[in-house]
Structure 1
Amino acid sequence: MLTRTIAFLDSATLAADIKLRSPSFPHEWRNFAATAPNEVIERLRDVEIAVVNKVRLGRDALSELKSLRLIAVAATGTDCIDTEACRDLGITVVNIRGYAGVTVPEHVFALMLSLRRNIIAYRDDVRAGRWQDAGQFCFHDHPIRDLSGATLGIIGEGTLGQEVAARARAFGMNVFFAAHKGVDGLGPLYTPWGEVLARSDVLTLHCPLTPATRGLLAMPEFEAMERRPLIVNTARGPLIDESDLEEALERGLVSGAGLDVTLPEPPAPDSAFMRLARRPDTIVTPHVAWASHQAQQALAEQLVDLIEAYAAGRPRNVVGEDC
């Protein structure tokens, strides 16, 4: 029976305690914790199945890989893969779906609650002795605002957006899904883009990164935000112009930000993202909204399922066919 060669180019993107079961067919599995751009071709030269999370596979590299027939992306987003080149070259691309419906929404609410209630500011004050200085049972140095009764604008109406909406309603929030920027008449689910910007107390992003969504929130949008909302981004960094967000925070156009993503990752030490990370009105986390233990294990199980489905001649989750 044919032995298939599989290479996971950035296995360290999964936590060390995640169990990745062995595919059921004869195979050779090559594991690389990380792969630099100049190592991609050599590591995949005789490989049929590539597993990647964030390693970029562009047309030039793909054209050199004559044995490659499947790219299994260990994530939902496929912006690291030149999918058009894959179509031209007869390479199937599959991705993970539906595994993050709990972990990402919970992270979104962790950021929302921390910022609305100034949890980190109060924690830091207690560590610094401010409670003792107050001389009474509490102190009120930082405003605390409930989520109940607040308006949540959601940009992106897919699984994650819907799961965030369900939790928001349980908190008593008013929920609006934003119509696509510059598009009208999308139906009753959607509220016009400009109205969502004007009415939201919190804006959270759950849309893919495409040419149309790059820079989706920049200074014109921040200046249209009448209620100084919190901005939460657990999707893709380039959806927001980070320099404009920094200026918007300085000018008081928005009241805070919870950010889990940027570009590149990790960010440069002198980047706008790192300046945002040092602000008291901003919480940043290192692209871990997706990464609960349960979600990573579900991802690992689905990843092997997809590889086995391809080997059986019945590929599933094929990007561009059944998204």
Structure 2
Amino acid sequence: MRIVVLDGYTLNPGDLSWAGLEQYGTVEVYDRTAPGEVIDRIGDAEIVFTNKTPITQKILEACPSVRFIGVLATGYNVVDTKAAKDKGIPVCNIPTYGTDAVAQYAFALILELCHHVGEHNRSVKQGDWAACPDFCYSNYPLIELAGKTLGIIGYGRIGRRTAQIARAFGMKVVAFDEYPGENNEEVALVSLDELFGCSDVISLHCPLFPSTEGMICKENLNKMKDGVLLINTSRGPLVKEEDLAQALHSGKVAGAAVDVVSTEPISPDNVLLREENCLITPHIAWAPKESRQRLMDIAVRNLGAFLDGDPENVVNT
């Protein structure tokens, strides 16, 4: 059986092994695949794995041997799932691998906005402390989290884990979710407007749906507290970046930290690049080695379950 991985570099830049997949057939791994190369590279393969390389109806029609599509991520919008379903091809994603990693990273961003550790380290090393007449100084206001309110938008696995960390810091936590499940924790489930109005820090952990696209917009930013901090480790299009840039510039939003943007890699003219009080990192919240190993392991299990006749994590049933 021929197995093709279209864009394996992000998952495995060389520190993991593809041996789990190799037990099922001949594996061809491409670091990256351009749109015009997809059909030739899939060819007569039965099994295809993709991360961000689109698989369209046209590609599926040109590659009739495909029996299974594995997405090496949670988001699966790169695959035409309806076209795959019409052809009887299950599309399986990886829903749970990054819970701890992303929640940890969300707090790394929160703490960086509160303390600017990197900037103070840079300042010391360029000689500012040695030249200071006092025993300490700060280049930015420092913020204590205890007693403040964290608003979590999207109260799934990652949102819940983030809430647990927040409570360990002594924060109050409120959450909003379009489809809230059972809540046995010390978290108040509130309306979105209530969350905007009471939160000192807002962290986005919701999927990108038509109902959530552009939810951080001028209208909703105006509902937030003056000086709010905004964190996005979820999906870039949740935020209208021009509106956020204006809110950062005016001080309505005291600071933002985003690991995702509307177009990735980031466009050189992205408006957030001009805002000094906006931290931007290159979509790495999910990417510790431990998290990537879990992703690899689940991808292998997804394929094994399909071959056993009982596919798991199917998103196009």
TM-score higher than 0.5: yes
Work out whether 1:13 is the aligned partner of 2:7: no
SS of the residue 1:131 aligns to: coil
SS in structure 1 of the partner of residue 85 of structure 2:
helix
Partner of 2:257: 258
Q: Which residue of 2 aligns with 1:213?
A: 212
Gaps of 5+ in 1: none
1:299 counterpart = 2:295? yes
SS in 1 for 2:138: coil
State the alpha-carbon separation in 2 of the partners of residues 274 and 298 from structure 1.
Answer: 33
Pick which of 60-69 and 21-30 moved more: 21-30
Contact residue 21 and residue 304 of structure 1 kept, 8 A: no
* TM-score of the aligned structures, taking structure 1 as reference length: 0.91
Q: Deviations over 1:126-173 (max 9, x none)?
A: 233221232121013321111111110001011001110111111111
Aligned to 1:309: 305
Distance 1:36 1:275 in 2: 30
Tell me how far apart the structure 1 counterparts of residues 119 and 76 of structure 2 sit (CA, whole Å): 37
Which residue among 61, 65, 68 is the counterpart of 2:63?
65
Paired residues of 2:155 and 2:177 also in contact (CA < 8 A): no
CA contact (8 A) 1:20 1:301 kept: no
1:23 is aligned, of 11, 21, 24, to: 21
Task: Kindly state the Cα deviation for residue 123 of structure 1 after the two structures are TM-superposed.
Answer: 2.2
Equivalence map 1:158-169=2 (5 Å): 158-169=156-167
Identity in percent: 38
Taking a change above 3 Å as real, the CA distance of residues 52 and 251 of structure 1, as seen in their structure-2 partners, is same
- What does 1:140-219 correspond to in 2, within 5 Å? 140-180=138-178, 190-219=189-218
RMSD between aligned residues: 2.0
The amino acid that maps onto 1:231 is: L
Name the CA distance, whole Å, in 2 between partners of 1:26 and 1:114. Answer: 44
User: Which whole-Å CA distance do the structure 2 matches of 1:56 and 1:264 have between them?
Assistant: 15
Q: In 2, Cα distance between the equivalents of 1:272 and 1:221?
A: 19
250-259 vs 261-270, which moves further: 261-270
- Post-superposition CA distance 1:260-294 (Å, at most 9, x none): 11132111212224334xx2x22211111001111
CA distance change for structure 1 residues 189 and 66 in 2, over 3 Å: closer, same or farther? farther
Question: How far has the Cα of 1:21 moved from its partner?
Answer: 2.2
Q: Is 1:290 aligned with 2:286? A: yes
> How many angstroms does 1:24 deviate by?
6.7
What is the CA distance between 1:314 and its match in structure 2? 1.4
Question: Is contact 2:73-2:93 (8 Å) kept?
Answer: yes
Per-residue CA deviations over 1:221-280 (Å, capped at 9, x if unaligned) read 11111242111111111110111111110011101111111132111212224334xx2x
Letter in 2 for 1:12: Y
Deviation at 1:26, TM superposition (A): 4.6
Aligned partners of 1:148, 1:18: CA distance in 2, in Å?
39
Counterpart of 1:97 in structure 2: which amino acid? P
Q: Structure 2 unaligned segments of length 5 or more: list them.
A: none
Deviation at 1:189, TM superposition (A): 5.3
2:295 alignment partner AA: L
**Residue 64 of structure 2 aligns to which amino acid in structure 1?**
K
**Helix, strand or coil at the partner of 1:231:** strand
Matched to 2:2, the amino acid is T
Answer whether contact 1:267 1:273 (CA < 8 A) is retained: no
Number of residue pairs matched?
Answer: 312
2-structure distance, mates of 1:83, 1:189: 35
Q: 1:273 to 1:54 in 2, by over 3 A?
A: farther
1:90 correspondence with 2:108? no
Distance in structure 2 (CA, Å) of the matches to 1:43 and 1:251: 50
In 1, the alpha carbon distance for the partners of 2:256 and 2:155 equals: 21
- Preserved CA contact (<8 Å) 2:200 2:225: no
Distance 2:133 2:78 in 1: 55
